Amino acid sequence: MNPLKRLGRRRASVLALLALGALVTPGAATAAPDAPDGVRASTLGAQAAQSGRYFGTAVAAGRLGDGTYTGILGREFNSVTPENEMKWDATERSRGQFTFGAADQIVNGATSRGQRVRGHTLVWHSQLPDWVKGIRDANTLRGVMNNHITTVMNRYKGRIHSWDVVNEAFADGGSGQMRGSVFRDVLGTGFVEQAFRTARAADPAAKLCYNDYNIENWNDAKTQGVYRMVRDFKARGVPIDCVGLQSHFGAGGPPGSFQTTLSNFAALGVDVQITELDIAQAPPNAYANTVRSCMNVARCTGITVWGIRDSDSWRSGENPLLFDRNGNKKPAYQATLTTMGGTAAAQRPDTRSARSAAALPSSFRWNSSGSLISPKPDATHRIAGIKDPSVVYHNGKYHVFASTASSSGYNLVYLNFSDWSQANSATHHYLDRTAIGTGYRAAPQVFYYAPQRLWYLVYQTGNASYSTNPDISNPNGWSAPRNFYSSMPDIIKQNIGNGFWVDMWVICDSANCYLFSSDDNGHLYRSQTTVGQFPNGFTNTVIAAQDSKYAMFEASNVYKVQGSNQYLLLVEAIASDGRRYFRSWTSNSLAGSWSPLAASEGNPFAKSNNVAFPAGTWTRDISHGEMIRAGNDQTLTIPACKLQYLYQGKDPNAGGDYNSLPWRLGLLTQTNSTC
Ligand code: 9MR
């Protein structure tokens, strides 16, 4: 939380999408889809998300005025690829003159719908303006190519989950070599490497893909040529994260070796994505076979169909898509959904294989309690609000740590109780009376660090600080504050602008511990150390996610979802009505990129529009808080269903000095849990 005065009302800028890498799932060797028990979605995107994948479509800006088109787009897909609008002839028709109107339209539309975006494409011999084709001087062309990549990627930095950095560089036929193009002819085959290196520097959070067609059959010379290039890149450390297999198939569907091809590329250490799927006449079996191949390969992270209705297709004469020209679902649609494990499935899929599937739904509904915990001012603590709670359940009691806010600043309080009905009568222990001391301490996070058998309290002091205690129930047992960092990491200094460095959050997997923090300026940072070194050694601070300032404001929580391979990220945002709410993302790795789960104002994780107040609406803000966990250790594991979230809310009519607002604590309980 931000220690300083805030304005009462703010307008959130358009929600922007973060850098969204495709996810990795562990190998499910069976042909059965990888869907969790009890979770069946009825749309393509929602069902793909159940296994951590996306299901996307190519979008044409010119069709966004068509209600049938946008209706399907918003309902079915959670990723979009601009079909033509990001290509060179659309973005830099004349040298150095960039135009982004149509691409912006698609990206902004996608973000407002909570969809992620694939970038297509930066370097391609086709749809390339003549002024580029005419360049004969290598230095000039290299400069032009690098400038194009950098400018386009910068425009959408942080909002593209994967970029097709180079498209279709290899020749058809039996050569296995790169095709002739101005890039290859003037720069040599090294242009691909150059393009990827430039792209990595431009947007380090985006996955960088090589994209091509006719590389689906493992034995084809073209497939082998691309494979050798990717293998060489990986061996030499040239940045490449994924291979896009366009998958424009004939009526026979994918070649028999398709899954082998996907697996073999994935085994090189890259993700694979099906990037432009369409199949002549759309036979349901052909779609099912394609989708199944992806589901069976852990690193096949998403599928994009190349258009919505047959009439939208570049091959419209072949009716190759999932919706007919009237927007009706075709049999291929049902086959696709069923193969991913969606509701059309006649039978439950086999779930014996190791699953990465998210047991979380893609939208949430909650009931809120009334205000459960209010501040207890005393003679020396003139407290206006109790805020930023952290909670664990241990030895039959809830242990709650929170910020105390007053016009004179912040400190911490501790209370415990056995039942929520007792919460408001619990004794408040002011931690400024302990070794934690007076002065600015706020936004606590508590967990048991099992390797050291110690409780940690992490909080902000201007730095990221912590105290330890062998006994959580003894408020006097906390050690004096120590800092995690010697000073604010450079990357935060460079990006914080007029924001504040707040809301430090530690979570560990079996090897590493990560420290997340926010800057009230649209950035979520992440540092890491090893489990052995913790609490020392936090380094490698990076931007883990970013968005516009109010869309990614502060108060992030990161959790492991019990029984799955999934992590959940919650970040507090400021909505267009000025109220606080939470957005959510998932990832299969703490150091990975985050994919939207319920991340928009229309489909929030928790906001006034998906929270009911049976006991009376006492707040319109759903603000800084924390999940009731399944355990209490450093893995921060939460249950997969029947979620509960302890949060801060306040009288909707209260205003004035931010530090003096009457924050209280309430509890959300999920009401749409399927288990
Ligand atoms: O679908 C795109 C179509 O509208 C364009 O006219 C065409 C121009 O080349 O590009 C189509 O998309 C292509 C994609 O960008 C790259 N892979 C092949 C796709 C189909 O041609």
Q: For 452-469, what is each residue's pLDDT tens digit?
A: 889 999 999 999 999 999
213 CA closest ligand 1 atom index: 17
CB atoms inside a 10 Å sphere around CB 372: 18
State the distance from the centre of ligand 1 to the C-alpha of 19, rounded, in angstroms: 24
pLDDT, position 592: 86
pLDDT, position 510: 86
State the distance from the centre of ligand 1 to the C-alpha of 403, rounded, in angstroms: 55
From CA 485, how far away is CA 530, in angstroms rounded? Answer: 15
pLDDT, position 560: 93
60 CA closest ligand 1 atom index: 4
Q: What are the catalytic residues? A: 168, 276
58 CA closest ligand 1 atom index: 1
Instruction: Detail the DSSP E strand segments found in 65-146.
Output: 79-82, 116-124
From CA 79, how far away is CA 302, in angstroms rounded? Answer: 9
State the distance from the centre of ligand 1 to the C-alpha of 44, rounded, in angstroms: 23
Which three-class secondary structure state does DSSP give residue 407? coil
| 2 pLDDT tier (thresholds 50, 70, 90) | low
- Residue 567 carries which side chain, given as an amino acid letter? Y
pLDDT, position 564: 80
From CA 361, how far away is CA 640, in angstroms rounded? Answer: 9
* Contact by Cβ (8 Å): 501, 492: yes
| 212 pLDDT tier (thresholds 50, 70, 90) | very high
Question: Is the predicted pLDDT of residue 47 greater than 70, yes or no?
Answer: yes
Indicate the top mutation candidate among 59, 80, 84, 273 to test ligand 1's pocket, ranked by most ligand atoms within 8 A of CB: 84
Question: Is the predicted pLDDT of residue 517 greater than 80, yes or no?
Answer: yes
| 499 pLDDT tier (thresholds 50, 70, 90) | very high
User: Sign of torsion, CA 283 285 288 294?
Assistant: negative
| Residues whose beta carbon lies within 6 Å of some atom of ligand 1 | 83-84, 126-127, 167, 213, 246, 276, 314
pLDDT, position 184: 98
306 CA closest ligand 1 atom index: 1
pLDDT, position 1: 59
From CA 28, how far away is CA 565, in angstroms rounded? Answer: 13
- Nearest alpha-carbon partner for 542 in 576, 509, 569, 514: 514
- Residue 495 carries which side chain, given as an amino acid letter? N
| Residues 6+ positions from 638 with CB-CB distance below 8 Å | 559, 560, 561, 562, 568, 627, 628, 629, 630
Indicate the top mutation candidate among 314, 315, 316, 318 to test ligand 1's pocket, ranked by most ligand atoms within 8 A of CB: 314
State the distance from the centre of ligand 1 to the C-alpha of 75, rounded, in angstroms: 24
Closest protein CA for atom 19 of ligand 1: 276
> How crowded is the C-beta side of 651, counted as CA atoms within 13 Å?
11
Q: How large is the average pLDDT for residues 77-100? A: 97
Indicate the top mutation candidate among 306, 308, 321 to test ligand 1's pocket, ranked by most ligand atoms within 8 A of CB: 306
State the distance from the centre of ligand 1 to the C-alpha of 225, rounded, in angstroms: 22
State the distance from the centre of ligand 1 to the C-alpha of 84, rounded, in angstroms: 7
Higher-pLDDT residue of 405, 631: 405
| Token pair of 376 as six digits | 């207890």
Closest protein CA for atom 16 of ligand 1: 167
- Residue 211 carries which side chain, given as an amino acid letter? N
* Percent of the chain residues past pLDDT 70, beyond the cut: 91
Q: How large is the average pLDDT for residues 620-634? A: 95
Q: How large is the average pLDDT for residues 386-397? A: 95
| 565 pLDDT tier (thresholds 50, 70, 90) | confident
| 34 pLDDT tier (thresholds 50, 70, 90) | very low
- Please state the three-class secondary structure of 430-496 as a single string: EHHHCCCCCCCCEEEEEEEEHHHCEEEEEEECCCEEEEEECCCCCHHHCCCCEECCCCCCHHHHHHC
Question: Is the predicted pLDDT of residue 36 greater than 90, yes or no?
Answer: no
* Percent of the chain residues past pLDDT 90, beyond the cut: 82
Which three-class secondary structure state does DSSP give residue 518? strand
Closest protein CA for atom 4 of ligand 1: 314
| 562 pLDDT tier (thresholds 50, 70, 90) | confident
* Contact by Cβ (8 Å): 207, 242: yes
Closest protein CA for atom 12 of ligand 1: 83
pLDDT, position 39: 53
* Contact by Cβ (8 Å): 520, 499: yes
Question: Is the predicted pLDDT of residue 28 greater than 60, yes or no?
Answer: no
| 641 pLDDT tier (thresholds 50, 70, 90) | confident
pTM of the model: 0.54
State the distance from the centre of ligand 1 to the C-alpha of 214, rounded, in angstroms: 14
pLDDT, position 71: 94
314 CA closest ligand 1 atom index: 1
